[in-house]
Chains A and B, each alone.
Chain A
Amino acid sequence: MVAIIEKRDLRDFDWLTAVLAIAISCFGVWQIHNALPTDNYWSKQIIGIGIALVAFLVVAFSDFRRIVDYAPVFFVIGLVLLALVVTPLGVEVNGQKAWLRLPLIGQFQPSEFMKIPTVLMLAKYFGARKGGPLTLRETIIGGLIFAAPLGLILLEPDAGQAITYFPIFAAVLFISGIKFRYVVIAIVATAIMVQTAWFVGVKYGKIKRYQQERLLAITNPDEVDPRGYGYHTIQSTITVGKGGLAGIQGDPETSQSVLKFLPEPQTDFIFAVTAENSGFIGCVSLLLAYALLLSRMIAGARQSSDRASLLVIMSVVCGMVFQIFMNVGMAEGFLPVIGVPLPLMSAGLSAILTTFIAIGFVVSIKMRRFVN
């Protein structure tokens, strides 16, 4: 592969973005190790990062526009895989069928990967349009592209994963020039619908008791049963707070995750582990690294040569920002417990691979921005 990499490629390669992404993921490995030092999640994650890096380089050095051309193919394959999840081929974990076990490839999470074809498909459709305000017809067709994977994911059901698709679609619509008044209407409508859904849901028992408790744990953490459904939120808050300025020095044997007070420390609550072990300094550094990475990506978007590239980068950016905010907000105890992985940090091959591929597109786009 090196042979086909031209000098210009290396010159234009966005080293900073690549290094930041790798650095954050390595930091993540360390935290996964901190979370459960005796388990092998951290070593698996290193393998995952290795695989992800290969994929990253392949994507980064491919011609992005040709990939976009093939977007419908990827999109259909993705939909088929998602559909397979709800068939007996799917693997059920904790009451959710989010996993697929295929021969040779092994077990993976199609809903995670499906973000990529969805982004590409949306970019292909909205990138082809001319300027001017978004029409209703375009919005509906875009909505159908978005609704197809979303519907299949909700069948699993995996609400946490499904929710991460919304910022992608929102970014696409926003960048494609949806009128500001629709944006305002959408925000207001969302606010009203969330409230209405809550009251109706509670009244008719559609929102289960444990789901209510999880929200109560956020609004009134001192009043809910600390051993009940507020447990995750309370323990995560304690874990984050315990880290203090510089984190616990040594003594990992008494950490919240090792003593199993903190649930899912290597995935959903990896930020709490980071907070406990690296303290305020470590966490702020991590947030700054994310900010820098996102800035680099947005800068790339500003320089992109076509609309499709711009859409891809901005939907990746929005998707990442949303996931970071949901995940860290949950760890900090002010957002409800929804299983959204922290990009580049949470253990999991599907997630790390997807994120690196997405960043690979960004790097690829920046590298070829002068090719016209």
Chain B
Amino acid sequence: MKLNDQVQNLGARIWTIQVLAFILLTLLGVRLYYLQITKGAYYAERAENQRVRLIPIPAPRGAIFDRNGKILVDSRPTYNVVLSNEPLKSLDLPSRVNDYAAGLSMDRQFVIERLNLIKKQNDFETMVLKENATMQDIAWVEAHSVEFPELLIELQPQRFYPLGTVLSHVLGYVGEISPAQLENPEFKEKGFRPGDIIGKGGLEQYYDEYLRGRPGYRKVIVDSRGRVQSEIARVPPQAGMDLVTTIDLDLQMAAEQQLDASATKRGTIIAMDPNNGELFAMASHPAYDPNVFIQGTSKPEGRKQIAAYWQDEKRPLYNRAIQGRYPPGSTWKIPEYVGALEEGVITPQKSNVACGGGITIGNKFTRCMGNHGAPPLDHAITVSCDGYAYHLALKMGIEGIIKMIQTFQFDKPTGIDLPNEKVSQTPKSWMPWILKHEGKWSDIRTVYASIGQDTVVVTPISMLRAISSVGMQGKMYTPHFLKEFKSISAIGEDGDPNYIPAREGFTYQHPAPVIVPMNDDQYHIMLRGMWGVVQEAGTAASIRMPGWEIAGKTGTAQVSELGSGGAKDHAWFDSFAPAYKPEISVVALIENSGFGAANAAPAAKGMYEAYLAKRDPNKPIITKDEAVGSGKK
């Protein structure tokens, strides 16, 4: 067949088709060049991004020990049922609510809440649906992996507080970082992510940075449904640092026991080493169980319990030792008298002030418990003469009292290593308010302030610190729980991209003690008075212990108007022992229980007994006679 013979230009037509074919193929080649050569790297990265996932491996938090190595807090493995983000995107979640609720035996309402939360947050890998999954839950998830590929089981080290309510206020608890905290620049800077576990309250919060480990991660390949296909790399997590505290668990248990046995079961007991500020024990009752916050958040009963904690008017979540502010009553006289001596209102040699059975300000008579004549300072302390305090305070003037407040730093936090410490309220802090509303500071307020009432409400910890300093002849240490953070070794080799450097351990860095000026004579007259409180016929003679001399001061702080039938007085006992070479100081405060001598002093005695039970029997106990000689007064 001769193509050229044809009328229809057959040759040209075939040629047209051929050219057209080549143009189309060339077009494909050009596009190929653009995709593979020009933008090849871009698409390679996109492909990598959609198949590589980083799955964090949570780091175990550091454990917390008492000074003798007893476990106070540790972590143990638990399993969570989590929802994986990737397959979720193409799911109709509301339709799964009933399946999840039935399969995982969860409250339907709670499932709905969790799913709503997930909807709001797009930026996550996995989200916990159920914490502390049981063996049945795990089996159910495994058995339904085809129907519900979005459900996964994740191992999670969980915080465990073996002591329950014991020491709960000091230890605090941990929980998921809140959305508000995530917005907070302070947390944002540190790169926190939703779902991160952080310390909430107590040492867990204060030392969170050290207790918290550095999470590792698994670098995995996932398929288009987000299912892990293989693992490319695994960087192990670095555990948090272990915290050794100054707490002595035996003393702590004694403190808890004393509070349990107290009249109202409300109050606080703190024991400290006055020589350096190391805290042996800090109990606050009523207490809470931190485990409820760890395990309870996903269960209706747990959440009810947490809500009950918040609503309870006895305020179990509140650490009375550092957050409670109470009128100190007569215990306030100790720092006040040190102030009077320092300011020269009285001297050790000339310390007598008239009691007068009370004082009349204007037409109002404020009485003393007895009539003590004109006692010297030490006797005034021993018998807790209020008339002495009234008259002395008027001599000092409110300025003198404020000066003392500054000397003992009642206007500042003590600097204890716990979060949310409250500052005491004193005439110094009240002064601007009083002047504004009453025009002047009246003498009656000075009189009330002299016996730790009215404008004086202090935290037990600040009171303990002040009283302890008298035993140390004016050296006031910062109370603290940190003894040591143990070092933790590095993860990986140096130079490795995933290298996590080692963390050096460290001990508590003692700030220089605050010095309350107190010469020998001043010290001895104060001590003589405080020694007498227990050792002579003082207000707390009932707790006298043979061979163990306690220096202390009782306080009975009025809460409501006398005779009003309102709440009973707060009972205080501030002390240290042995009086002339203190090894331990104790403050006991029992709320609304009445007399300090009857209610707080025995609790302190219980602490000393516990201390003595452990004390090296061969270590000499310094008595007053040995320290100052028997002849001297």
Stretch at the interface among B42-50, B57-65, B93-101: B42-50
Are the CB atoms of A259 and B7 closer together than 8 Å? Answer: no
Are the CB atoms of A287 and B28 closer together than 8 Å? Answer: yes
Q: 5 more A-B contacts (CB under 8 A) besides A298-B17, A314-B14?
A: A131-B5, A175-B14, A177-B13, A317-B21, A325-B28
Are the CB atoms of B222 and A241 closer together than 8 Å? Answer: no
> Number of residue pairs across A and B with beta carbons under 8 Å?
143
Q: Which residues, 50 to 92 on B, are CB-close (under 8 Å) to A?
A: 50-51, 89-90
A175 CB contacts on chain B under 8 angstroms: 10, 13-14
Q: Which of A241, A290, A329 contacts B39 (CB 8 A)?
A: A241
B361 at the interface (CB under 8 A from A): no
Q: Which residues, 1 to 46 on B, are CB-close (under 8 Å) to A?
A: 1, 3, 5-8, 10-11, 13-14, 16-18, 20-22, 24-25, 27-29, 31-33, 35-37, 39-44, 46
Q: A245-B37, A321-B24 are in contact. Are A283 and B17 (CB under 8 A)?
A: no
Which 7 residue pairs spanning A and B have beta carbons closest together? A241-B43, A177-B8, A244-B40, A241-B35, A259-B223, A280-B36, A242-B47
A211 at the interface (CB under 8 A from B): no
Q: How far is the CB of B229 from chain A (nearest CB, A)?
A: 6
Q: How far is the CB of A205 from chain B (nearest CB, A)?
A: 24
Are the CB atoms of B32 and A280 closer together than 8 Å? Answer: yes
Are the CB atoms of B7 and A241 closer together than 8 Å? Answer: no
A101 at the interface (CB under 8 A from B): no
Q: Mark A213-241, 1 if CB is under 8 A from B, else 0.
A: 00000000000000100000000011111
Are the CB atoms of A238 and B6 closer together than 8 Å? Answer: no
A-B contacts, 14 of them at CB < 8 A, read A131-B7, A171-B17, A227-B89, A242-B46, A245-B40, A254-B221, A279-B36, A280-B32, A290-B25, A291-B21, A298-B17, A307-B1, A321-B21, A334-B31
Are the CB atoms of B35 and A260 closer together than 8 Å? Answer: no
Are the CB atoms of A241 and B44 closer together than 8 Å? Answer: yes
Q: How far is the CB of A316 from chain B (nearest CB, A)?
A: 11
A62 at the interface (CB under 8 A from B): no
A253 at the interface (CB under 8 A from B): yes
A36 CB contacts on chain B under 8 angstroms: none
Are the CB atoms of A259 and B222 closer together than 8 Å? Answer: yes
A306 to B17, CA, bound (A): 19
Q: How far is the CB of A238 from chain B (nearest CB, A)?
A: 5
Q: How far is the CB of A67 from chain B (nearest CB, A)?
A: 19
A301 and chain B: residue at smallest CB distance: B14
A140 to B35, CA, bound (A): 44
A317 to B21, CA, bound (A): 9
Are the CB atoms of B35 and A240 closer together than 8 Å? Answer: yes
Query: How many chain A residues touch the partner (CB < 8 A)?
Result: 53
B568 at the interface (CB under 8 A from A): no
Q: How far is the CB of B50 from chain A (nearest CB, A)?
A: 6
Are the CB atoms of A332 and B32 closer together than 8 Å? Answer: yes
A275 to B40, CA, bound (A): 11
Are the CB atoms of A131 and B51 closer together than 8 Å? Answer: no
Are the CB atoms of B7 and A177 closer together than 8 Å? Answer: yes
Q: Mark A308-319, 1 if CB is under 8 A from B, else 0.
A: 001000100110
Q: How far is the CB of A369 from chain B (nearest CB, A)?
A: 9
Q: Mark A252-268, 1 if CB is under 8 A from B, else 0.
A: 01101001110000000
A279 CB contacts on chain B under 8 angstroms: 36
B367 at the interface (CB under 8 A from A): no
Q: Which of B1, B7, B51, B224 contacts A254 (CB 8 A)?
A: B51
A27 at the interface (CB under 8 A from B): no
A314 CB contacts on chain B under 8 angstroms: 14, 17
Q: Which of A275, A310, A321 contacts B10 (CB 8 A)?
A: A310
A125 at the interface (CB under 8 A from B): no
Q: Mark A265-301, 1 if CB is under 8 A from B, else 0.
A: 0000000000100011001100100110011001001
A283 to B20, CA, bound (A): 20
Interface of A is mostly: helix
Q: Mark B246-271, 1 if CB is under 8 A from A, else 0.
A: 00000000000000000000000000
Are the CB atoms of A259 and B36 closer together than 8 Å? Answer: no
Q: Which residues, 479 to 518 on B, are CB-close (under 8 Å) to A?
A: none
Q: Which residues, 178 to 223 on B, are CB-close (under 8 Å) to A?
A: 221-223
Are the CB atoms of A253 and B221 closer together than 8 Å? Answer: yes
B31 CB contacts on chain A under 8 angstroms: 329, 332, 334
Q: How far is the CB of B107 from chain A (nearest CB, A)?
A: 31
B225 at the interface (CB under 8 A from A): yes
A261 and chain B: residue at smallest CB distance: B224
A261 to B6, CA, bound (A): 53
A298 to B13, CA, bound (A): 11
Q: Which of A176, A284, A305, A306 contacts B32 (CB 8 A)?
A: A284
Q: How far is the CB of B588 from chain A (nearest CB, A)?
A: 65
Q: Which of A177, A304, A332 contacts B28 (CB 8 A)?
A: A332
A302 CB contacts on chain B under 8 angstroms: 3, 11, 14
Q: How far is the CB of A142 from chain B (nearest CB, A)?
A: 15
Interface of B is mostly: helix
A100 at the interface (CB under 8 A from B): no
Q: Which of A240, A290, A310 contacts B43 (CB 8 A)?
A: A240
A312 to B428, CA, bound (A): 108
Q: How far is the CB of A363 from chain B (nearest CB, A)?
A: 18
Q: How far is the CB of A174 from chain B (nearest CB, A)?
A: 6
A290 and chain B: residue at smallest CB distance: B25
Are the CB atoms of A241 and B14 closer together than 8 Å? Answer: no
Are the CB atoms of B36 and A241 closer together than 8 Å? Answer: yes
A81 at the interface (CB under 8 A from B): no
B44 and chain A: residue at smallest CB distance: A242
B5 CB contacts on chain A under 8 angstroms: 131
Q: A131-B6, A239-B47, A314-B17 are in contact. Are A280 and B28 (CB under 8 A)?
A: no
A174 and chain B: residue at smallest CB distance: B13
B230 at the interface (CB under 8 A from A): yes
B9 and chain A: residue at smallest CB distance: A177
Q: How far is the CB of B9 from chain A (nearest CB, A)?
A: 8
A132 at the interface (CB under 8 A from B): yes
Q: A238-B47, A261-B51, A298-B17 are in contact. Are A306 and B1 (CB under 8 A)?
A: yes
Are the CB atoms of A294 and B8 closer together than 8 Å? Answer: no
B221 CB contacts on chain A under 8 angstroms: 253-254, 259
Q: How far is the CB of A320 from chain B (nearest CB, A)?
A: 9
Q: How far is the CB of B93 from chain A (nearest CB, A)?
A: 15
Q: Which of B13, B39, B47, B230 contacts A256 (CB 8 A)?
A: B47
Are the CB atoms of A243 and B224 closer together than 8 Å? Answer: no
A298 CB contacts on chain B under 8 angstroms: 14, 17-18, 21
A240 and chain B: residue at smallest CB distance: B35
A74 to B397, CA, bound (A): 123
Are the CB atoms of A284 and B29 closer together than 8 Å? Answer: yes
Are the CB atoms of A291 and B1 closer together than 8 Å? Answer: no
B90 and chain A: residue at smallest CB distance: A227
A328 at the interface (CB under 8 A from B): yes
A86 at the interface (CB under 8 A from B): no
A133 at the interface (CB under 8 A from B): yes
Are the CB atoms of B40 and A241 closer together than 8 Å? Answer: yes
Q: A253-B230, A332-B31 are in contact. Are A261 and B223 (CB under 8 A)?
A: yes
Q: How far is the CB of B20 from chain A (nearest CB, A)?
A: 8
A324 at the interface (CB under 8 A from B): yes
A39 to B90, CA, bound (A): 26
Q: A253-B229, A310-B1, A332-B28 are in contact. Are A240 and B10 (CB under 8 A)?
A: no
A243 to B7, CA, bound (A): 49
B10 CB contacts on chain A under 8 angstroms: 175, 177, 310
Q: Which of B17, B25, B40 contacts A174 (CB 8 A)?
A: B17
Are the CB atoms of B33 and A280 closer together than 8 Å? Answer: yes
Which of B5, B18, B24 has the largest count of A CB atoms less than 10 A from its CB? B18
B42 CB contacts on chain A under 8 angstroms: 241
Are the CB atoms of A328 and B28 closer together than 8 Å? Answer: yes
Are the CB atoms of B14 and A305 closer together than 8 Å? Answer: no
Q: How far is the CB of B17 from chain A (nearest CB, A)?
A: 6
B6 and chain A: residue at smallest CB distance: A131
Are the CB atoms of A240 and B36 closer together than 8 Å? Answer: yes
Are the CB atoms of A287 and B29 closer together than 8 Å? Answer: yes
B223 CB contacts on chain A under 8 angstroms: 259-261
Are the CB atoms of B32 and A294 closer together than 8 Å? Answer: no
Q: Mark B579-596, 1 if CB is under 8 A from A, else 0.
A: 000000000000000000
